[in-house]
Structure 1
Amino acid sequence: MPLVQHPEYPEAALLRLEESVPCRETQVSTLLSIFGERQHFSFPALFIYGHTSSGKTFVMQTLLKTLELPHVFVNCIECFTSRLLLEEVLRQLQHLSPTEDLPPPPPPSCDTFNDFIRLFKQTVTPKLQDQTVYVVLDNAEQLRDMEANILPGFLRLQELTERNVTVVLLSEIVWELLRPNTGCCEPLPLYFPDYSIGHLQKILSHDHPPEYSFDFYAAYVNILLGVFYPVCRDLKELRHLAALNFSKYCEPVVQGAANERDTRRLWKNIESHLKKAMQTVYLREISSSQWERLQQADGEPGQLKGLSAHAHVELPYYSKFLLIAAYLASYNPARTDKRFFVKHHGKIRKINFQKKHEKTSNHLLGPKPFPLDRLLAILYSIVDKRVAPTANIFCQITSLVTLQLLTLVGHDDQLNGPRYKCNVSLDFIRAISRTVNFDIIKYLYDFL
């Protein structure tokens, strides 16, 4: 959908804007309608929200820069206190209207929001008063941690300063979670939906290397999205994965074993490669250069296979059994403990362990939290000799939490005690089990 022509902005600028922000024409047209003409007062406050990597920050920056609108852009994560935030807004505002033949003014000092209003009026020169100034606050959910008057004050900035200013809040949360309890002027909301698979295909295809054709790279992006789209919708992560794995995809073409249209052979070459890359989505366990070296050494004997950096961690003897017990407690229903860990449990009806009414395996549903006493009970059952619950055992549990192999949940509940979840994968726990000669598959409910 092309952008609607706007009499205030030249056609060339709108064409550049349309090329720079693909698949966001609807949102850009809405923003242009809200902004209106430069010299007219715009809406006092806008609230733009959507999931991460939905184009909020990029669209707003591109729109303001392409149309050369005076603006201040502040990241609230970097300016994590109210003083840093207010002073950064004033500092950028000073650079919008530099005074000729005079040295740059000293950085402003602003302790309260009343000082900010006074300095804001002084900084907005008559030249800036002829057009709307946009104050954009990215990651606006961080304003909840500042003084109670900061967010309501910014929403009323146009009224308090009596200047032509519009505040734009960019956030990943909905307005109901950000609205202050004291009440405030409601901003105009604008939602940025997630990119569809067609949008991602179009955006990622524009990154094709110049030495390869557009259709060849588009076919690669289509294969990549077919693998990663069900588990990852993040545009930045997908763009990183596309750049990281493209050399492996075009390897047969470089070697002369296939041409660009031989998609069957290209897919066969990269299929196992992408399955390994699935293990690193969002994790960043190894760097990109390490991943490339790992795949180059794929065919050499003795080289490292797989990606998990945890597979090479050295743990104490009982820590391995603690981690195994935690995995069993996370993925086995509590009602099956008697069958697996009690030697003389008597006769148990088989109907208790039929899974015909269960639609999904426990491994697909993810780890479940378990109490500390259940963890220790399973530990005592799988270790050959009796282990006393000494301080050493509890310290090793704490170490596993520190290593992020276990997660502590519900630690504020003093009545039931601490509860944990196991964070490791099945491949990792099988590798740990082999080091202590323990066949964990025999004790997992999903593999009965």
Structure 2
Amino acid sequence: MEAIHCRQKQVAVLKDLFGKPHQMSVPSLFIYGHTSTGKTLVLNTLLKTMKLPHVIVNCVECYNERFLYEYILNYIAGNFDMMAATADLIKCDNMNDFIRHLKQIVTGLNSETLYIVFDKAEFLRDMEPNILPTFLKLQELTDLNVFVIMVSDIVWEKYRFGTGFCEPFVINFPDYSKEELVEILCLDCPEEYPIGFYNMYANLVLSIFHYACTNLKELKHLVLLNFKHYTQPIKKGEVSITDTKKLWKNIEPHLKKAMSTLYLREVSSCQWENYQYQLETSENASLQGLLNKSHVELPFYSKYLLIAAYLASYNPAKSDRKFFAKHSGKGSRKSQQSKKSERTSNHMLGPKPFPLDRLMAIFYSIVDARVTPTANIFMQVTSLVSLHLLGHAVGEDQIEQPKYKCLVSLDFIKSIARTVNFDVLRYLYDFV
């Protein structure tokens, strides 16, 4: 169990539920939590370490009922490695046949608890309506020592769509805290560097990205990808390992680039590094223009709406009065000094969500002509969302106060602003 970190509480609960091998267990268990919270890792490690008989079903791969039934039955019967010998495989088309075959197979085995694990269990909701209720009470229907475990990214309440459900025992895997993420990330510390140095680097990266991302896999990728840039001055002998200020100056531009591609990678890490190398070293203007292509044709008012969305995403709400209210003045010297003392820019933290009414208020302030609020203007907001230039920050079902995020880069918005002769930097909080 040394491979599992920061999940001691969940491991203890699971061990208590599993009990001894020949004891009757609870009928069903539901494990839920966001992606990369250790659900599958903890469960698989426990089942293998304790040498418990189990079958793990990926509900994405077993996309229909027949595949699901036959996978479970053949795996338990030991036929799964003999897929070529089709004559030996068990055929099953419905739930009644599944229960009958399961009784025959398990009765011939010892009386140890059999664990049936459904990973990505939310896909079971798309199958026949009798599948979920039947698996939840499989122990009762078969009179066998069977323990059904469902692992999902969504809460149990979204599984209830009718009557006849047997409520499972529910375990939540919460998101890792910042301290727990640092502890896990430090497991990848290279041998040539002290753990304290890597811990400080991981804390530095998390101080920027933790606000926008809590996904362990994504954060681990970012930390490993940028560590060589962080240590590059040390390897060249330009700075010492304790000179954190110079190390931060060196890594800051690389972290800015990483923030713009958070969750949006469409290439591998190696391809991303090659892309960055070409971007930094290329002297060919045509290649530079190709890599930084940010031209798109938009209607006139859509351009202003996109500019307003960018300003709403990267300006704090308290600065709207200063930039967009008439006769607002330049603000007090105290507020200007406090702004200079801020260490992290809004662009480093990524886009913030903003309500629709704030977007429209900024739009009407920056557009020169007097625009009547019509349905056409609001439809253009929807078009920007469909083009992935804006994104919904909360559920689309919240009609009263929808919130959005601007998804474009600073270079892109500067290119759009030039087409309408608008000085966008003059209205950005980080550049004033």
Normalised to the residue count of structure 1, the TM-score between the two structures is 0.72
Question: Retained in 2: the 8 A contact 1:368–1:421?
Answer: yes
Alignment of 1:287-306 (within 5 A): 287-296=268-277, 300=281, 302=283
**Equivalent residue number for residue 91 of structure 2:** 109
- Distance between the aligned counterparts of 1:420 and 1:196, measured in 2? 26
The residue identity in structure 1 corresponding to 2:422 is F
**Equivalent residue number for residue 184 of structure 2:** 203
- Distance between the aligned counterparts of 1:217 and 1:203, measured in 2? 12
Alignment of 1:275-424 (within 5 A): 275-284=256-265, 287-296=268-277, 300=281, 302=283, 312-316=293-297, 318-319=298-299, 322-328=302-308, 366-369=353-356, 403-405=387-389, 423-424=406-407
- Distance between the aligned counterparts of 2:222 and 2:426, measured in 1? 36
Which stretch has the larger CA shift, 294-303 or 210-219? 294-303
Question: Retained in 1: the 8 A contact 2:351–2:406?
Answer: no
Three-state SS of the structure 2 residue aligned to 1:109 is coil
The residue identity in structure 1 corresponding to 2:414 is R
Counterpart of 2:77 (choices 94, 112, 120) is: 94
Question: Retained in 2: the 8 A contact 1:330–1:367?
Answer: no
The verdict on how the C-alpha distance between 1:33 and 1:407 changes in structure 2, with shifts beyond 3 A counting, is closer
Counterpart of 2:21 (choices 28, 33, 38) is: 38
- Distance between the aligned counterparts of 1:180 and 1:246, measured in 2? 48
- Distance between the aligned counterparts of 2:419 and 2:326, measured in 1? 34
Could you tell me which runs of 5 or more consecutive residues in structure 2 were left unpaired when the two chains were aligned: 336-345, 370-376
Three-state SS of the structure 2 residue aligned to 1:69 is coil
**Equivalent residue number for residue 146 of structure 1:** 127
Counterpart of 2:418 (choices 422, 434, 440) is: 434
Which stretch has the larger CA shift, 295-304 or 182-191? 295-304
**Equivalent residue number for residue 169 of structure 1:** 150
- Distance between the aligned counterparts of 2:407 and 2:300, measured in 1? 12
Could you give the per-residue CA deviations for residues 361-414 of structure 1, whole angstroms, max 9, x where no partner exists?
9x97525448xxx89x98xx769xxxxxxxxx9x999986654235699999xx
**Equivalent residue number for residue 372 of structure 2:** none
Counterpart of 1:84 (choices 67, 88, 93) is: 67
CA RMSD across the alignment: 4.6
**Equivalent residue number for residue 207 of structure 2:** 226
- Distance between the aligned counterparts of 1:445 and 1:265, measured in 2? 25
The residue identity in structure 2 corresponding to 1:55 is G
Shift of 1:166: 0.2
Question: Retained in 2: the 8 A contact 1:330–1:421?
Answer: no
Aligned length: 397
Three-state SS of the structure 2 residue aligned to 1:167 is strand
**Equivalent residue number for residue 254 of structure 1:** 235
- Distance between the aligned counterparts of 1:162 and 1:146, measured in 2? 24
Shift of 1:168: 0.5
Normalised to the residue count of structure 2, the TM-score between the two structures is 0.74
Three-state SS of the structure 2 residue aligned to 1:189 is strand
Could you give the per-residue CA deviations for residues 152-188 of structure 1, whole angstroms, max 9, x where no partner exists?
1001111112221100011222222223421311111
Question: Retained in 1: the 8 A contact 2:74–2:80?
Answer: no
Shift of 1:421: 6.2
Three-state SS of the structure 1 residue aligned to 2:188 is coil
Shift of 1:326: 4.5
- Distance between the aligned counterparts of 2:140 and 2:355, measured in 1? 52
Is 2:68 the counterpart of 1:68?
Answer: no
Q: Which has the higher contact order (CA 8 A, sep 6+)?
A: 2
The verdict on how the C-alpha distance between 1:158 and 1:67 changes in structure 2, with shifts beyond 3 A counting, is same
Could you give the per-residue CA deviations for residues 30-73 of structure 1, whole angstroms, max 9, x where no partner exists?
11111111111111101111222111111111111222211111
- Distance between the aligned counterparts of 1:251 and 1:43, measured in 2? 55
The verdict on how the C-alpha distance between 1:74 and 1:442 changes in structure 2, with shifts beyond 3 A counting, is same
- Distance between the aligned counterparts of 1:135 and 1:121, measured in 2? 14
Counterpart of 1:268 (choices 224, 236, 249) is: 249
**Equivalent residue number for residue 9 of structure 2:** 26
Three-state SS of the structure 2 residue aligned to 1:124 is helix
Three-state SS of the structure 1 residue aligned to 2:30 is strand
Counterpart of 2:35 (choices 26, 46, 52) is: 52
- Distance between the aligned counterparts of 2:282 and 2:70, measured in 1? 59
The residue identity in structure 2 corresponding to 1:42 is S
